[in-house]
Amino acid sequence: MAMEQSRTQPINHFTFLTNGRRVATLTVEQTAIKDVRNKLSAMFAVARGDNSVVLEWDTNPSDDLVAHVKKRVPYDRNGPPDASYGQDYASLWEPNEHGDNHGIAELPRELARYWPKHTVWDGFHLRWIKILGKGGFGYATLWEASFEDGTTKKVVIKIPNPGASGDIADELAWHEKYFGASHTVQALNLNHFVMHKRNSGATDGRPRISGPTFHAPTLNAMTLEYAEHGNLFDLLAKGSYLGAVYSNKMLWMLWECLVRGVASVSRQNSLMRENLEPGALFGVDQLLDYVEQGSDYWALELLDGAPDSHNVLFDLEEQNVLVGADERHRGNPILKLHDFGGSYCHDMLEQWKTWRFRHYLCARGPPKMNRRLPEQASKDWDDYDCLNSPSAANFWGPNLDRGSQVAGRYGTWSNIFLIGSLMESVIADRWITHPFTTVSYTNIEGDKAGQTYGHRLMRNDCSSVEPQLRDVVMRCQYEKPADRPTITQLVEECLKRRKKGFPEEEDEHTKQFWATFWKPPGEGDEAGYELGGAPGPAPAAAPAPAQAPGGSQTSRGDRGKGRAVDDLPIDYEKEPAPAKSAKEHVPGSSQGNWSRVKGLVASLARDGSDQKGQQEEQAGPSRPGNAAKDAAAHDSGDESDDSIILGRIGRRRMGQGPRPASKAARSGGPQGDGVRKSTSSRTQRRRQLRHRLQQQLGSASGAGKSLAMLNLSSRASRLQKSLDRERSSNAAAAAGSPASARTGQGGFAPMVRSDEGPERDRTAPARRGGRSA
């Protein structure tokens, strides 16, 4: 029975309890298991929004455990632990860190000794381009191979740090398991390219390039295919920053990529071993080609009957899904799963034979807290007496009808949950959400009910996404692995949807959207770009999933926009009370004196109004003023839920958007928001206003920026109108007018759970009428 500990509780609204189980003396192994168990239990109690955690054996939490929990508290420590919030990707976008221009052109000194910028190998030259990334093991570097026939190919070479003890052979072995799968990153052998070109006669009459034979494993390196558009995090962060709206066709194609990726991890190796076409490559892609040609029954039956590898990719998150180009994708990018091997990839068919309880327990630790599994977070873990070596039989095997129903049941169904979580983030534009809890959900067909973690897709701001897509993503996030769809079911649903086609969006439209999307930052971001013209009539759709009470009323046209102040809070004239709950606090925002802020805002509004008047006076007949620009921005974002949603990139204005994120932001807690840096002369006035704001609030430049105030300073030209509306509203309220009932017009607070509904998302303020700026 859990008992409260005698020590003063170190975290507000969070209580450490003890289960009272004691043994005379703890062995070294028991002590290690106890410490790991308590740390993980506390971490996931915080993630679930619990107000307490039951510790094993310890009567009081250690200082190390308390510090560990405090670092992972994602909410205001003075507020309730289950206060809801979400963080969009735009707040983490940094053009110099993400996307096509990301990379360091200089070759590090420690690598130059072993890897000069230009080397000559048998059949090709290898020239240095840049560093794509650096991890604990070493560098991911980009090179260009120039072959004898005059062709070139960009390749990625993973190079360990000099003197590193790790061996890249393990990761290479994982890549080779999925050889030939188009939706997993492939390991390359450059010598095969050389031999193919020579044998095909492509090099006839050309001088040979002589040098030593290139063999990457001998150099403890690995050659991989290059994905020219970075990773999925780059795509989502840039899309959120630009206010991109992805059509249903685009979303379905991204989802099919993720499904084919986990299908390849699950079945590619076993299909290759079957050697169905001797001497030819025959894997998941070839099998699905037969399905598209009409051989549905036997091909899907073969896929379903192929032995499942149960390779679990615990680190399946945005940065480990690469984004490339493929002509077969009709203009849409192709997603490829990446980063195999290491501590976070496990062949469960082998581990089920050898793992003990402590191995399953240690596997609870997620590489990224925004991508965790119910199998890791389940509260059922607290019921196991970890000091007395519980049986590992509770966790092993593909039979989900026996043993643990959730906790520790790692398998292919875990990968299915993770791609469902990823797709929810694509649709809802949420890098992380809190708390990690479920709601009841019954699928569209009405024949499957369970507890899903994907309930945020029930909200109104996701209603323009096809119900079938939202339904499958929510089913993939069912709490119990036995309730989730199988690989074959997911593949079949994707193929059926593809056969129906997307008559509302031609392939050329899709290509045009992505061509604009991939433009480097600064080329078209300011002017904006919209595709497709007037939407046509909506196609007949299946019944939408049940809406969660209290869902957001923001239209999908507003989803993903950089945070901005369109309206002042309804209670602007009131002095805010001291923060008592999470909804009165924004992580990363400073708390200034409200009376000083009100005076400053009024001053900024006047300055902005004067500046706007000057600009309009200077505007000639071929150069409309700011008012016309603002009106055009509003009109372009007007769309209803009854229209077909075509891909488009929303209008952005200089001085608007998130602040640059640090490199550690994605592994840390939620970040604050601010203003996009700009070197344009048009924003000189806004920078001066922002500097003035920081000085008057007494905050250091670049530190502790107030979310509301920084956005106010960048949009001063609209504040006076907001103030006038609020004065009118207050006057109406005093007169007893119904207008006093208006709420939620702006304001800044995390998502908060109320008695009327599960949550209300306030990380991006709602805009009136579904218009986007």
Report the 10 Å Cβ neighbour count for 594: 13
- Contact present, 432 and 370 (Cβ < 8 Å): yes
Q: What is the mean pLDDT of each run of 10 residues along the chain (773 residues)?
A: 60 82 81 92 92 86 85 71 88 67 73 84 95 83 95 93 73 93 96 94 88 90 94 94 93 98 96 78 88 79 93 96 92 94 92 96 91 96 88 94 96 98 96 93 92 94 95 98 97 94 92 90 45 35 42 34 32 38 35 46 55 49 37 37 53 36 40 35 48 45 38 47 66 54 33 36 36 33
- Contact present, 550 and 757 (Cβ < 8 Å): yes
Report the 10 Å Cβ neighbour count for 682: 12
pLDDT score of 328: 87
According to DSSP, residue 542 is labeled: P
Pick the closest to residue 333 from 580, 625, 577, 100 (CA basis).
100
Residues of the chain with CATH 3.30.200.20: 109-225
Percent of the chain as helix, strand, coil, to the nearest 5: 40, 10, 50
> Distance (Å, rounded) from C-alpha 744 to C-alpha 160?
52
Which pTM was predicted? Answer: 0.71
Q: Looking at the domain that runs over 248-501, which CATH code has it been given?
A: 1.10.510
Helices (H), 506-638: 507-517, 594-618, 626-636
Residue 408 — left, alpha, or beta (φ > 0 → left; ψ -120 to 50 → alpha)? left
- The residue behind tokens 């089913």 is 475
Residues of the chain with CATH 1.10.510: 248-501
pLDDT score of 217: 87
pLDDT score of 220: 84
Would you tell me the crossing angle of helices 412-428 and 487-500 to the nearest 10 degrees? Answer: 40
- Contact present, 461 and 764 (Cβ < 8 Å): no
pLDDT score of 723: 62
Give domain 109-225's CATH architecture.
2-Layer Sandwich (3.30)
Residue 49 — left, alpha, or beta (φ > 0 → left; ψ -120 to 50 → alpha)? left
pLDDT score of 585: 35
Q: Which whole-number Å values give the CA distances from 448 to 53, 73, 105, 404, 479, in the listed order?
A: 32, 34, 53, 21, 13
